[in-house]
Amino acid sequence: MERLHTLIDSPYGPLTLVATDGVLSGLYMTEQRHRPPQESFGAPDPAPFGEAISQLAAYFAGDSTEFDLPLRLDGTPFQRMVWHELQKIPYGETRTYGDLAEALGKPGASRAVGLANGKNPIGVIVPCHRVVGADGSLTGYGGGLDRKRRLLAFEGGRANGGEDALF
């Protein structure tokens, strides 16, 4: 198993991209909760990240609302189910933890959904920032609530034709 990483700039601070055997397996923000240790990311090498970097640049520029990349989502079967469901949340929209639990056919699993959401290894691309509390409030986000607020404002402004990105 070969792991490589690269660091890119974004409007939300530096992002570390990680590939396992050439497939994107991580996108981590600085000071992110559940961020693996730096030494687990492998050698620095930008080679496997060209398409991911291009799609992220288009997203941050407001030119793209979707990602089309092969992803390696390593986690428990339940976590992978949650992460798959996250990818169905449309750009500019939010869902609650309860909505996700319902969609998974596990209506009592809101808390477990929240835990899985928090361990999402590929932030932004697997849009865990689009999940809010039952009352619509911003709840925990591994990258910090300020980043979550800014990502949602950015997407909300673009989805509604506005220019109110906060960076």
Would you state the pLDDT for residue 159?
Answer: 52
81 and 153 co-located in one domain: yes
Q: Does residue 87 belong to any structural domain of this protein? A: yes
Assign residue 114 the CATH number of its domain.
Answer: 1.10.10.10
pLDDT digits (tens, 9 = 90+) for 35-54: 999 999 999 999 999 999 99
Catalytic residue positions, numbered: 128
Show the 3-state SS of 79-138. HHHHHHHHCCCCCCCCEEHHHHHHHCCCCCCHHHHHHHHHCCCECCCCCHHHEECCCCCC
Say whether pLDDT at 156 is over 50.
yes
Residue 81 CB coordination number (10 Å): 18
**Nearest Cα to Cα of residue 22 among 49, 42, 43:** 49
Helix (H) or strand (E) holding 8: strand 3-8
Whether the Cβ atoms of residue 140 and residue 114 lie closer than 8 Å to each other: yes
Q: Does residue 54 belong to any structural domain of this protein? A: yes
How far apart, in whole angstroms, are the C-alpha atoms of residue 57 and residue 146?
Answer: 21
Residue 162 CB coordination number (10 Å): 11
Q: Does residue 166 belong to any structural domain of this protein? A: no
Query: What tokens appear for 133 in the block?
Result: 């509390």
141 and 82 co-located in one domain: yes
46 and 91 co-located in one domain: no
56 and 81 co-located in one domain: no
Range of the domain at 152: 77-159
Res. 158 pLDDT band, cuts 50 70 90: low
34 and 106 co-located in one domain: no
Assign residue 17 the CATH number of its domain.
Answer: 3.30.160.70
Would you state the pLDDT for residue 137?
Answer: 78
pLDDT digits (tens, 9 = 90+) for 7-25: 999 999 999 999 999 999 9
pTM for the whole thing?
0.90
Q: Which residues on adjacent β-strands are paired with residue 43?
A: 4
Q: Phi and psi (nearest 5°) for 108?
A: -90, 10
Q: Could you tell me whether strands 23-29 and 15-20 are parallel, antiparallel, or unpaired per DSSP bridges? A: antiparallel
Q: Does residue 65 belong to any structural domain of this protein? A: no
18 and 87 co-located in one domain: no
84 and 136 co-located in one domain: yes
Number of domains in the chain: 2
